[in-house]
Structure 1
Amino acid sequence: MKNSILLFLACLLYASGFAQQAQENESSEIYVKPKLVVGIVVDQMRYDYLTRFYDKYGEDGFKRMMNEGFNCKNNHFNYIPTYTAPGHTSIYTGTSPMNHGIIGNNWYDKELKTSVYCAEDASVASVGTENKAGQMSPHRMLTTTFADENRLFTQMEGKTIGISIKDRGAILPAGHTANAAYWFFGEDQGDFITSTYYEEELPKWVKNFNSSKKAKSYLKEWDTYYNIKKYTESGDDLNDFEGGFKGKETATFPYDLKKLSKENNGFDIIKSTPYGNSIVADFAIEAIKGEDLGKDDVTDVLTVSFSSTDYVGHNFGVNSKEIEDTYIRLDKDLGRLFKMLDSYVGKGEYTVFLTADHGGVDVPSYLHSQHVPAGYFDKKEFKDKLDSFMTKKYGASDLIENISNNQIFLNRKKISLLNLNLESMEQEIANELISYEGIHYVNPAFSLSSGGNDIEALLKNGYNQKRSGDVLFQLKPAVISYSKTGSTHGTGLNYDTHVPLMFFGKGIKHGSTLQKTEVIDIAPTISGLLGISFPNGATGKPLEFLLD
């Protein structure tokens, strides 16, 4: 009997120890403390750029993330419109425009009766330039980012630095509490700048970087990294579907950037080449050193947006030799950034994720040449036809205040004065628009509250009651309002919503999934990894299957 009791107690102690060990293991899985979290957004990166150019990539960039980390192969945006500012904001806030309020790059302000830019802020001054390009802040973003929550959690000890070619790509991800955000100002200057929202003067390391004239070193020849004959994953170099640069008759390699810069706004030409990504990588590496990121036990956050991919895509299109070369070179830039993190922060001591703010459509004129349904939408013709309908139907020509971002803003004051019913008018306009050439889908705003089909769900997630319009419309697949050269984006179709999502580093498993994920899941996943509060408006879910 005594031996049985002793055996029972031994088993109980063993089980208790096992449970305690399991609890400790669970705790360590939930609360991983990387010294640095690096969030990377590649502007206008379609998912298929990972697979289409795979054989051209080295082992240190995209492939390293796939080989060492976790690849979410079926990752999508969950809203319309798929533009840069909403994309960056949704990634870092963990919610969609209906909550964070960044409904476009620009939008019509119904109170001010004018178009506003997502980051403009006249209450702050430029730092690093006399140009008003520095008068920017995140004040129009309504919710926090995971970087904000990390700052609050660490009593403001954990640093946050945002970097991009574009102001919105640096400012919105870094959040409201960032130590700094820096963006590139071209023209005749070629420097990284900021605003007094963050600091009154550029730090010494930023001044040193600008003084090094790194931008000037990129005003050189842009030719293909490999022999152009090896670029079999893209179309002919000479074709009718690309824009090119002023001062050069054809959009073909090579490009003398120093010579072309005179007719292409000086240093701004760098933005539309892979060297815009290279200078961002250069600056990010200096930021890590200059700010001592990842050098203590308090987690820091670095947000990096590579925007030149977007400029190249808009100019040359998603099937161009130029876009292939840009991604081959970006892969090299990622490789050297990761190697620097290995040596400076320590391999296995940092966590990285990489995604995109939207994808991009194949040039419709190219698709049409291949017998794929596609086309172009004439905005002026559309507006004239709609104005004529409104005048005939309601006897007034000023009932529409604004048409932008595929949204119609009605003059509610005038509607009230005429004793017209707003919902009835929205429905009448929807009934009219659906008959127009190029229009695929129309939604009165009042109907979004009732849910509906997949398109309505995307529209609803992108609809902010205080900021969005009264009637929303979508164009047919591969029909765009844009020039007949180059690519664009903005829809809820797969070519715009399907983007990469990869994690690697501390706390991340190795693997992949075809399970559908959404970009709003990224911020809750990082928050869960760090054991901090989710961003205050987050609606996404942590991707626990990729956490180690």
Structure 2
Amino acid sequence: MTFARKAAALLAAVAMPAVPALAQDTSAPVSKTVPDGAPRLVVAIAIDQFSSDIFAQYRQRFTGGLARLTQGAVFPSGYQSHAATETCPGHSTILTGNRPAHTGIIANYWIDQSVTVGRTKVYCAEDVSKRVAGSGDYVASVGSLLVPTLGDWMKRANPEALNIAVSGKDRAALMMGGHDIDQVYWWKGDKFVTLAGREIGPKAAAQNAEIASTLAKGAAAYPLPAWCARADRAVRAGDVTVGTGHFAMKAGDAEAFRVSPRLDRATLDLAVKLVDEEKLGKDAVPDVLAVSLSVTDFVGHATGTEGAEMCIQLTQLDLALGDFFASLDKRGIDYAVVLTADHGGFDIPERLDEQALEQADRVKKSVSDKALSDVLGKRFGLAADGLILADGASGDYWVRKDVAPGLKGKIVDDAKAVLEANPQVEAVLTAAEIAATPMPTRSPEVWTMAERARASYNPLHSGDFVVFLKRGIVPIATPGPGYIATHGSPWDYDRRVPILFWRKGMTGFEQPSAVETVDIAPSLAALIGLKIPEGSFDGRCLDLDGGPGNTCGAAK
């Protein structure tokens, strides 16, 4: 029984209600018969910061789109197996079938000391060659992605294939869409935008007009489901109090729109409009629609994962996905869905401490690149300013480029010793140690720290050494509005994500053993009968029949 291929027309989006209803099953009745042949449309959905832990916690509460997907092929222990569990690396694995070591996307940001214009910190989705001196903005680009996406492969096989991507973040849309995208949109400021040099299409313009109308009026708070009451309590994190937000929005407050369920619904509504505009799934050539939903991540960062805010967000996300799938159903499109996440997440230590995780804490400033620069600068008689460079208190660190090669090795060794003596640090691995580690081949849940780091290491972008904090240490020293919790660790609360496949009439099953997000692209390629050169993927094909058949046969 085969599974995925082109298709889909969606529904003209309806205006968002001022007070959204609680989640309910809005899906149209779905046939139990599997259509002949492969589906016409592949719909790849990423929910930013949707960990396996969150999926398990809320699974029994889903009644809409997420409930539907649990009737398909369920892999509750999917892995973003690498150590750099951030948005850009995670999204780069989903439709390329490759780990960050091969995608080149080792983090959201990295240091490139050869940059001649502006800061040396490089954003994963920017075109550095188009920087303008003195500008704080950037030109979005997929140029740093070193491998093709599924959409790229499909268009190489047949230029008539359509490749569409939409998200609340540019890096998510670009890393899933790839180099050859027919239409791509992401949220910026108070509207959806696209790549420089491209015009906003009529359907995207219509979506922006609907959003502008909602922003002009404002919106009431979302209702709190009764079962969310236990989470609806105030918790203090530094100068910020969270846990009781219900997403009321004042007129004109685009930031409140962004960090609320409204943006995910608008993203899905735009996806529906693009299906109609491009007539996705209306011919014999497979199409792909990539949708990344960003609000779970925005809420997780701003309020943590265990408050009323996350409870409301996941309830409304389930409802919005139900409406999205129902719109595809009404159009009679034969579509296949995969849903996963770019990484997991971790709650705020202030709440975790109340929940018996006493080791949860915020990172001390002694782990910072500045503190390390001060210590090593004095030790080696060098200017301390920028001696060690990093983007945060964990992950990749770089030694300043003007340090002599022989001295650089000594500085790296001493930095390793200093950090390993810090009680908050789990491990420090040098670039040489990581590069000497073979690429892991065994099941990801048993990988060593060195293997997790190896899956993230690319010599073009990676640092001189990598720092891993202990489990439960949040790499935010001082919480502030909008940023009190995060992810990015090598621990399984950030690595484990669900992977769900669904198609009308398919035989559902659940496989609890570990798989990887890099298995998604080869699985979808096999399901649509797309031949990819051997060795193009780090992942493997997953059989989605749930029976004696073998959907991976097309890949052999």
1:423-457 CA-to-partner distances (Å, cap 9, x unmatched) read 44433321221001311111111011332861100
Q: 1:170 aligns with which of 151, 170, 173?
A: 173
- For residue 439 of structure 1, what is the aligned residue in structure 2? 425
- Mark the CA change 1:185 to 1:273 in structure 2 (over 3 Å): closer, same or farther: same
Q: 1:375 aligns with which of 361, 377, 397?
A: 361
Conserved 8 A contact 2:92-2:176: yes
Give 1:315 deviation, angstroms: 0.9
Q: 1:183 aligns with which of 181, 186, 189?
A: 186
Conserved 8 A contact 1:224-1:253: no
Q: 1:475 aligns with which of 469, 474, 477?
A: 469
- For residue 195 of structure 2, what is the aligned residue in structure 1? 195
- For residue 54 of structure 1, what is the aligned residue in structure 2? 59
Give 1:258 deviation, angstroms: 1.4
The runs of 5 or more residues in structure 2 that have no matched partner are 6-33, 439-446, 552-556
CA distance in 1, matches of 2:274, 2:90: 24
Tell me the amino acid that sits aligned with residue 70 of structure 2.
M
CA distance in 2, matches of 1:217, 1:278: 18
Please state whether the residue corresponding to 2:236 is helix, strand or coil: coil
Q: 1:135 aligns with which of 134, 139, 143?
A: 139
- For residue 449 of structure 2, what is the aligned residue in structure 1? 455
Give 1:507 deviation, angstroms: 9.1
- For residue 399 of structure 2, what is the aligned residue in structure 1? 410
Q: 1:43 aligns with which of 39, 42, 48?
A: 48
Q: Is 1:514 aligned to 2:501, yes or no?
A: no
Give 1:344 deviation, angstroms: 1.6
**Normalised TM-score (structure 2):** 0.82
- For residue 224 of structure 1, what is the aligned residue in structure 2? 223
Please state whether the residue corresponding to 1:543 is helix, strand or coil: coil
Give 1:241 deviation, angstroms: 4.5
CA distance in 2, matches of 1:319, 1:203: 38
Tell me the amino acid that sits aligned with residue 476 of structure 1.
K
Please state whether the residue corresponding to 2:518 is helix, strand or coil: helix
CA distance in 1, matches of 2:244, 2:238: 9
Q: Which has the higher helix share?
A: 1
Give 1:220 deviation, angstroms: 0.3
Give 1:57 deviation, angstroms: 1.8
Give 1:89 deviation, angstroms: 0.7
**What percentage of residue pairs aligned between the two structures are identical?**
27
CA distance in 2, matches of 1:462, 1:409: 16
Tell me the amino acid that sits aligned with residue 191 of structure 2.
D
- For residue 361 of structure 1, what is the aligned residue in structure 2? 346
CA distance in 2, matches of 1:533, 1:54: 35
**Alignment of structure 1 residues 97-116 onto 2, 5 Å:** 97-112=100-115, 114-116=120-122
CA distance in 2, matches of 1:425, 1:124: 34
- For residue 412 of structure 2, what is the aligned residue in structure 1? 426
Tell me the amino acid that sits aligned with residue 274 of structure 1.
P
**Alignment of structure 1 residues 145-294 onto 2, 5 Å:** 145-154=149-158, 156-186=159-189, 190-196=190-196, 199=198, 201-212=199-210, 213=212, 215-216=214-215, 219-226=218-225, 229-231=226-228, 235-241=231-237, 252-258=244-250, 266-294=253-281
CA distance in 1, matches of 2:343, 2:323: 25
**Alignment of structure 1 residues 84-103 onto 2, 5 Å:** 84-103=87-106
Give 1:278 deviation, angstroms: 1.1
What count of residue pairs does the alignment treat as equivalent? 493
Q: Tell which deviates more after alignment, 113-122 or 139-148.
A: 113-122
The runs of 5 or more residues in structure 1 that have no matched partner are 1-23, 126-130
1:376-404 CA-to-partner distances (Å, cap 9, x unmatched) read 11346644542343234322235835122
- Larger C-alpha radius of gyration, 1 or 2? 1
Give 1:508 deviation, angstroms: 5.2
Give 1:124 deviation, angstroms: 7.3
Conserved 8 A contact 1:39-1:352: yes
- Mark the CA change 1:293 to 1:25 in structure 2 (over 3 Å): closer, same or farther: closer
- Mark the CA change 1:203 to 1:134 in structure 2 (over 3 Å): closer, same or farther: farther
Q: Is 1:505 aligned to 2:503, yes or no?
A: yes
Tell me the amino acid that sits aligned with residue 102 of structure 1.
I
- Mark the CA change 1:25 to 1:194 in structure 2 (over 3 Å): closer, same or farther: closer
CA distance in 2, matches of 1:444, 1:134: 31
CA distance in 1, matches of 2:242, 2:299: 15
RMSD: 2.9
- Mark the CA change 1:515 to 1:257 in structure 2 (over 3 Å): closer, same or farther: same
- For residue 13 of structure 2, what is the aligned residue in structure 1? none
Q: 1:64 aligns with which of 48, 51, 68?
A: 68
Please state whether the residue corresponding to 1:472 is helix, strand or coil: strand
Tell me the amino acid that sits aligned with residue 544 of structure 1.
D
